[in-house]
Amino acid sequence: MQTFVDAIQFLFDNLGLIWDKTVEHLALSGAAVGVAMAIAIPLGVWLGHLHRGSFLAINVSNVGRALPSLAVISIGLGLLGVGFLNVMVALVILAAPVMLTNAYVAVEQVDPDAVRAARGMGMRPLQTLLRVELPLALPLIFAGIRTAAVYVVATAPLAALAGGGGLGDIIVNQPTYGPEGVVAGSIAIALLAFATDGVFALLQHFVTPRGLRKRGKEPRLEPQVETAAA
């Protein structure tokens, strides 16, 4: 209990340090989520649009979830060496599968009647995708991004072991910062994870087309934060 009180004290005494590490943490996580999105979302949407590759698109997230995060970072350390890039690549590998599966399922399960109606109105395939399928799929696509983003924020502390910086630096340097530093770092990471979840929940709400909102078809909005991955 005393450690917990000390940790709160530590947080207030070292606001500058916490802030710097948080910025590093967000830069690393943001870069990883961005790259993962750029790869996984177009691929998932495209496969969903074609209604092809369901085996790949669905199983990739099962495999992705099974991947031990530290093991992926370790392989990256061997192949790419120490630093930001290695950790980012590892985080992209961990984040992309769930995004891909969600994007695929989101587009794939769009009401076929809506797609047929669009075609009947004379829309070309690309128009159908951009103006019918995508808007209807966006909430679920965002749910995938949200899950992945929280996972990345929670896993990024392991980056500290690989020279990637971030809030994990405080946790792994107990000799420097003491047990109160370890607890303080954990609190900061948990708060950051909740904040990430909240921000993406909000985004998810805003990208949901008004028609879907009314019918109560919004995917979950309650927080679901699991930081243990760190």
Residues at the contact surface with another protein, assessed by CB under 8 A: 3, 62-63, 65-79, 82, 154, 157-158, 160-163, 165, 168-169, 171-174, 176, 179, 182-183, 185-186, 189-190, 193, 225-230
CB nearer to another protein: pick between 118 and 167? 167
CB nearer to another protein: pick between 4 and 117? 4
Closest to 87 (Cα-Cα) out of 196, 5, 162 = 162
Q: How far is CA 51 from CA 43, 105, 129, in A?
A: 12, 9, 12
CB of 15 to another protein, least distance (A): 18
CB of 124 to another protein, least distance (A): 37
Surface-to-core class of residue 55, CB atoms within 10 Å of its CB (0-12 exposed, 13-18 middle, 19+ buried): exposed
CB nearer to another protein: pick between 13 and 226? 226
Q: How far is CA 110 from CA 105, 119, 208, in A?
A: 9, 14, 14
Closest to 92 (Cα-Cα) out of 147, 18, 38 = 38
CB of 74 to another protein, least distance (A): 4
Find the helix or strand (DSSP H, E) in which 190 lies.
helix 174-207
CB nearer to another protein: pick between 100 and 171? 171
- Are the C-beta atoms of residues 118 and 62 closer than 8 Å to each other? no
CB of 180 to another protein, least distance (A): 11
CB of 220 to another protein, least distance (A): 14
CB nearer to another protein: pick between 136 and 230? 230
